[in-house]
Structure 1
Amino acid sequence: MRIVVTSVLLALSAVATALSVAVLPFYGYEKGRVEPLVWATLGLWVLFALSLVSLRRVSTKSSVVLVLVGSLAIGAAAMFGPPNTSTDSARYAWDGIVQNAGISPYSYVPSDPALRELRTDWLFPAPVDGECVGERIMSVDEPGTGDLVCTAINRATVPTIYPPTSEIVFAGVRLLTGPAPEYWPMQLLGLLTSLGVTVLLLGSLRKAGKDPRWAAIWGWCPLVATEGVTNSHIDIVSALLLLVATLLVASGRRWAGGVALGASIATKLIPVIGAPALLGRRPGTVIVASVVTFFALYLPYVIANGPEVLGYLPGYLTEEGYESGTRFIMLSLVAPGSASLVLAALLVAATGVIVWWRTDPADPWIGQLVMIGVTLLVVTPRYPWYALLLIPMIAMTGRWEWLAVPLALTERLLIPSVDLARLTVSVAIVFIIVMSIRRAGWVIITPRQPRKHAEVVPRM
C-alpha cells in the first residue's frame, strides 16, 4: 500500500509537470494577476513534499526503484513542451551552431549580418506584416543595416556570456543533432544529466552508509525538472561536475577532484563557491588542478578572441544590479546601494574561511551545503536555477530544510515583488536556523520540571 501511494503521487507529479509545460503559456507576469504557472508550481512542490513523506515508509530496496522511476518519469514529463520561464537555451543552440561553423561564439553578436547564413527559422523567424510575433520572439535592429530582426535569442545584440565548458557542451549537442531541432536536444541533455546525478547520489549514499531515499530530494525536485530539463539551464551540468568533484576529493583523489572542480567553474563560474569545502589543510593539489583545468579550457578561446572571451559578463553584472548592490534584496535593508555589495562580499568570504577551516575534505558535505546555501541567501539571485548546485548537497546530508532556499528563489522568479521575496527569504532563513538548532540538540529554554510531590506515608 505504501508503494502504491508513493507511485500514485509520483504519477500525479509527472502528469502535472507535463501539463504545466504543454498547456500553460510562456510565463509573463502581469501586475495584479497571479499566473497559472504560479499555482502549478505550488502544486508541484506540494506533491514533491507528500512524495518524500510517503517514501519514508517504503522499504529501502523498493525505494531505490521508486527514486529511479520517479526521476525518469518526472524528467521525461518536463520535456513535453518548450521552455516556459526562460529563453536561455535558444542562446545555447545558437552558440553551438556558430561553433560548428568554425566561428568563435565570442566573435559576433547573434544579430550580426555576418552570420545571416547560419540563421535558422526557429531561432530567427521572418517578420509578419513588419512585426515579430510569438511568445518567445523578440525584435532587434540588425547592426549596420538597421533592418528588423526577429529572434528567440535574448540579448541578441551582445556577445555570449558563457564560459568554455558550456560552449563545448553547446557545440557537442549541436554537432550530434544539427541546427534544425528546436529545444528538445538541450532538454534531453538535462534529463540525462539529471538521471546521472540521481544514480550518483544513490550509489554514494549507499556507499557512505546513508539512507538512499535522500536521492529523491534531487530526482523528484520540481526545480530540477523545470529549470534543469524544461528550461535546460546549463547549471545542471555544473551541478553534476561539482558533485563529481566533491565525491572525488572525499575519496582521496584530489587531483581528479580538482580537475572536475575546474571544469565545473568553467561551466558557469558560480561553482567556485564549492572550492572552500574541498581544500582542507593541504589545498595546493586541488587549487593547482582546478586552476590549470580552468585556463586550459579557456585557452583556445583566448587565442582566438583575447580579452573578448569575457563576453557580456561585465555588462550582465551591471545590468543585474550586482555592481551597484541593488540586487541584494536582504542586505539592502541595512546597507543600501554599493554598501550591500561590500557587505555581501564580506559575508561570503567569511563563510568561505569558516567552511575551509572547519571542513574535513573526507566528509565535505555539510561544508558544501552551508557554503552554497549561505551564498544564495546572501546574494538572493532572481534565478532559482542557481540553486541546482545546492540540491545534491541537500541530498547527501539529508538536511531537507535547506529546500526552503530553492523554493524561496522560485517564488522570487515567478512573483516579482521585492517585499514578498524578502518575506519568503526571511521565512527560509528562520526555518533553516530553527531546524539546525533542533538537529544540534541545543536547548533554548530549559523545560520546566514537574513538581515532585512529597511522599505520603500511610498511617498504621
Structure 2
Amino acid sequence: MRGVAGGLVAIAISAGVVAAAAAGWWPNLVLVVGCLVVGGVGWLLVRRPAGAHVVLGVVAVAALCQVPGLLSAPITSTDAYRYVWDGRVQLSGSSPYSHVPLADELAGLRDPVLFPGLSPADRTGVTGPPSVPHNPAAVAALSADDSRTRINRPRVPTIYPPVAQAYFAAVALVTPWSAGTFGLQVAAAALAVALTALLALELKRRDRDPRWALLWGWSPIVALEASSAAHVDVLAAVFIVAAVSLATRRRPVLAGLLLGAAAATKLLPLLLLPAFTAVRRRDLRTPLVAVGTLAASYLPHLLAAGALVIGFLPGYLTQEGFSDGSSRSAILALVLPPEARQLAAGLLAVTLAVLALHRHDREPIAVTCCWLYGAALLITTPTYPWYGLPLIALAVLANRFEWLVVPAAAYLAYASFGHDDRQGLIYLTAAVMVLSVITVRHRPVLQNRFDELVGARQH
C-alpha cells in the first residue's frame, strides 16, 4: 500500500507542476518542493523489502507521471517547435544548417502550427545561406523571436548536432504536420520511461534497490521537460547512462559509440570524456571511439552544407558570453570581473578533467561522471535548467543524490533571469550544499590523511 500511495503522490505532483506552469505562473517552489517530496517518498519506500514486481511498478508510475505533460503545448521553452522544423526540413531534402526558418526558399514547409502569421505564399525577404555575426549586439538582434512563428530564433540556423537531427527527422516522419510538437512530446515521454527502466535494471544488477530509479522517473523536473517541453536532453541522458553501464561491463567500444552519440545529441556530454579515459592502463578506446563517432555523424551534413554545418553554435557562444571573455558563470561573477571569469572557468575545467583522469581507477565511473557533469554545470551555470536532466540520471546511477539540488536550483535561477547576483547566490547555495555532503561523506578519509601527516611531521 505504501508503494501505491507513493505512486499516487508522484502522479499528483507531476500534474500539479504541469498545471501550475500551464496556468501562467512559474511553479518554481512547487517544483522544488515536489522534488523533495518525491525524494522523501523514495526514502520511505526503500526502508521496506522490495516486491517481486518492483521494477514494473516504478516504470508504470513513471509512465503515468508523463501523461500530464502530454495534455498541453510545451511550457518551459519553445525548443520543440525548432525540433519539428528541423525534422521537416531534413525530410524535404534540405539542411537545417543551410537555411533559417524564415527563409523564403522553404516557404512551402510552413503550416499554421509553426507559422501562425505566415502562409506559404507570404514572403519575408530572408534568402540565401545564413550568416552569423560575431558582434554580441548583432547576434542578439539577429536571434530575436518573430511573432509570425513559434520557432525561436527564426533568423538563424539550427544549433543541434547530427544525432539530434536524425531523431527529429525520425519523429517527423511519423508525425502529421497538424500534430505540431505532440509527436516529439510522446517520443520524449517514452525515452524518459525507458530510462527509468534502464536505471532500475542497472541498479538491480549492482545489488542496489531499483526503487531509487523513481528519483528520475517520478521527478517533476523530468515530467516538465520530457513529455511537456520534449527537450532532446532526455535522449542525451539515455545515451550517457547506457555508455556508463557498458563501460562498467568492460565494453569500451560500445561505450564509446554511445558516448559519441550523446555528444552528437547535445555537445555537453563531451565534458565526460576524461571519466572514460584509462590513462594508467593506456586504454583510450572509449574516448577515441566517442570522438570518432561524433566526427562521423557530422560527415553527411558536412558534405551537404559545407562550413555551414557549424550552425548557430558561434552565435550561441557569443550570447552566453564565451566569445568576449565575460562567460556565463554566475557564481564566478559574484567575485570576479568579466575579463577574469573565462580564465578562472577554464582553469577549473582543466583541474576537474585532470582530477577525473586521476580518479578513473579509484572510483566507479558513474561517480566520476556525476561529479564531473555537476561541477561543469556549477562552473558554467547555463541559462537553461533542462541542461541538468542527464545529471539527475547520473546522480541516481552513482548514488550521489546531493547533486540533485543543482537541477532544482537551476529553475530558481531561471526564474531570476536578469538578476545576475540572485542567480549567482542560488547556484552558490547549491554548490555549498553539494560540497557539505561530499565533505561529510569523506570526513573519515580526510581525518586519516590528516593524522598521517601530523604523525609524519612529529617523527
TM range (shorter): 0.7 to 0.9
Secondary structure, aligned partner of 2:152: coil
How big is each residue's C-alpha offset from its partner over 1:282-307, in whole Å with a ceiling of 9 and x where there is no partner? 34211321122112111010001111
Moved more, 107-116 or 357-366: 357-366
Which structure 2 residues correspond to residues 429-448 of structure 1 after superposition, within 5 A?
Answer: 429-442=431-444
Decide whether the 8 Å contact of 2:81 with 2:114 is kept in 1: yes
RMSD, matched Cα: 2.4
In structure 2, relative to structure 1, the CA distance for the partners of 1:329 and 1:14 (3 Å cut) is closer
Give, as a single letter, the amino acid of the residue that structure 2 aligns with 1:314.
P
- Rounded to whole Å, the distance in 1 between the matches of 2:118 and 2:309 is 32
Which structure 2 residues correspond to residues 39-438 of structure 1 after superposition, within 5 A?
Answer: 39-61=29-51, 63-126=54-117, 142-143=125-126, 150-281=148-279, 282-323=282-323, 324-360=325-361, 363-416=364-417, 417-438=419-440
Give, as a single letter, the amino acid of the residue that structure 2 aligns with 1:173.
V
Secondary structure, aligned partner of 1:161: coil
Decide whether the 8 Å contact of 2:82 with 2:151 is kept in 1: yes
In structure 2, relative to structure 1, the CA distance for the partners of 1:343 and 1:9 (3 Å cut) is same
The alpha-carbon deviation at position 7 of structure 1 amounts to: 3.1
- Rounded to whole Å, the distance in 2 between the matches of 1:209 and 1:325 is 46
The alpha-carbon deviation at position 144 of structure 1 amounts to: 5.9
Decide whether the 8 Å contact of 1:252 with 1:362 is kept in 2: no
- Rounded to whole Å, the distance in 1 between the matches of 2:311 and 2:392 is 29
TM-score (norm 2): 0.86
Secondary structure, aligned partner of 1:78: helix
Give, as a single letter, the amino acid of the residue that structure 2 aligns with 1:49.
G
The alpha-carbon deviation at position 378 of structure 1 amounts to: 0.6
- Rounded to whole Å, the distance in 1 between the matches of 2:26 and 2:251 is 47
- Rounded to whole Å, the distance in 2 between the matches of 1:360 and 1:80 is 46
The alpha-carbon deviation at position 429 of structure 1 amounts to: 1.5
Instruction: Point out the structure with max Rg over C-alpha.
Output: 1
Secondary structure, aligned partner of 1:192: helix
- Rounded to whole Å, the distance in 2 between the matches of 1:217 and 1:66 is 14
The alpha-carbon deviation at position 341 of structure 1 amounts to: 1.0
Secondary structure, aligned partner of 1:9: helix
The alpha-carbon deviation at position 142 of structure 1 amounts to: 4.1
Moved more, 49-58 or 345-354: 49-58
Partner of 2:137: none
Partner of 1:29: none
Decide whether the 8 Å contact of 2:55 with 2:201 is kept in 1: no
Structure 2 unaligned residues grouped into runs of 5+: 129-145, 449-459
Structure 1 unaligned residues grouped into runs of 5+: 26-34, 129-139, 447-460
Decide whether the 8 Å contact of 1:228 with 1:385 is kept in 2: no
Decide whether the 8 Å contact of 1:163 with 1:269 is kept in 2: yes
Decide whether the 8 Å contact of 1:250 with 1:361 is kept in 2: no
| Structure having greater relative contact order (Cα 8 Å, sep ≥ 6) | 2
The alignment of Structure 1 onto Structure 2 pairs a total of residues equal to 423
The alpha-carbon deviation at position 81 of structure 1 amounts to: 0.9
TM-score (norm 1): 0.86
- Rounded to whole Å, the distance in 2 between the matches of 1:127 and 1:115 is 12
- Rounded to whole Å, the distance in 2 between the matches of 1:219 and 1:107 is 37
In structure 2, relative to structure 1, the CA distance for the partners of 1:7 and 1:236 (3 Å cut) is closer
Identical columns (%): 33
Decide whether the 8 Å contact of 1:17 with 1:78 is kept in 2: no
Decide whether the 8 Å contact of 1:202 with 1:215 is kept in 2: yes
In structure 2, relative to structure 1, the CA distance for the partners of 1:4 and 1:201 (3 Å cut) is closer
- Rounded to whole Å, the distance in 2 between the matches of 1:20 and 1:79 is 14
